[in-house]
A and B are shown apart, each in its own frame.
Chain A
Amino acid sequence: GAGVSQSPRYKVAKRGQDVALRCDPISGHVSLFWYQQALGQGPEFLTYFQNEAQLDKSGLPSDRFFAERPEGSVSTLKIQRTQQEDSAVYLCASSLLGPPRGRKNSPLHFGNGTRLTVT
């Protein structure tokens, strides 16, 4: 596709349920990032993949959060035993190059996000 695609657009989960959020990056993009955006805040980094390798997961808030990109394209962010504080928009972004080379002049292309509401 032409852009980054995320599904589902909206997800309502009961506290304690597991959820899986999918991201289809732009074809050929090496780097893939997951961000969490709370209401009224800017995106916060969760994790970074270069191809299939997860090079940085320092932003994942707890061990209930797990991300994978097994074939270097589609990525899934899984949240186990969801809590109310997990309610947020989860944004996926891809870029042609990865850091450090691509830190400048390789801007992130974002999907429209998945809005997760935990009740």
Chain B
Amino acid sequence: DQQVKQNSPSLSVQEGRISILNCDYTNSMFDYFLWYKKYPAEGPTFLISISSIKDKNEDGRFTVFLNKSAKHLSLHIVPSQPGDSAVYFCAASSDSNYQLIWGAGTKLIIKP
């Protein structure tokens, strides 16, 4: 039973365009969501987060959107750069279960 799903294993985007990574969740108790970025042979690094009281959080080129009614969040990267090529993980937690529940990741490839 996957509570956090990233249905696209990979995504290819032209440099300079917008990258949109999607994440769906099933547990309505989740109230905090995070995106992590992972390069090969390295651990994940924190990118951006959003609390369920908001529907948008922006940090530079990265924006996360949360649609609670659809149980869906997305990460927008604009403009995409070659260094953005990595695996992106969506994760979620709740008050009753602080453990982060992770999606399987989406591999983003930025084409020059």
How many angstroms from the CA of A111 to the CA of B43 in the assembled complex?
5
Across the interface, A59 reaches (CB within 8 A) one of B34, B44, B99, namely B99
Q: Is B103 a contact of A4 with CB atoms below 8 Å? A: no
* A interface bracket (residues with beta carbon within 8 Å of B): 20 to 34
- The answer to whether A108 and B46 touch (CB under 8 A), given A40-B104, A42-B102, A43-B102, is yes
Contact with A along B97-112 (1 / 0, CB 8 A): 0111011110000000
List residues of chain B with CB within 8 A of the CB of A108: 44, 46, 100
How many angstroms from the CA of A42 to the CA of B99 in the assembled complex?
13
With both beta carbons as reference points, the residue of chain A lying nearest to B91 in the complex is identified as: A42
What does DSSP make chain A's interface, helix, strand, loop or mixed? loop
List residues of chain B with CB within 8 A of the CB of A91: 43-44
A64, CB-defined interface residue at 8 Å: no
Q: Is A56 a contact of B95 with CB atoms below 8 Å? A: no
- The answer to whether A56 and B104 touch (CB under 8 A), given A107-B34, A111-B43, is no
List residues of chain B with CB within 8 A of the CB of A1: none
Contact with B along A42-64 (1 / 0, CB 8 A): 11110010000000100100000
List residues of chain B with CB within 8 A of the CB of A107: 34, 46, 49
Q: Is A104 a contact of B99 with CB atoms below 8 Å? A: no
A103, CB-defined interface residue at 8 Å: yes
B1, CB-defined interface residue at 8 Å: no
B42, CB-defined interface residue at 8 Å: yes
Q: Which of B24-59 contact A (CB under 8 A)?
A: 32, 34, 41-46, 49, 51
Q: Is A42 a contact of B43 with CB atoms below 8 Å? A: no
Across the interface, A110 reaches (CB within 8 A) one of B9, B45, B95, namely B45
Q: Is B100 a contact of A4 with CB atoms below 8 Å? A: no
**Closest 6 A-B residue pairs measured CB to CB?**
A110-B43, A42-B102, A99-B98, A107-B46, A45-B99, A103-B98
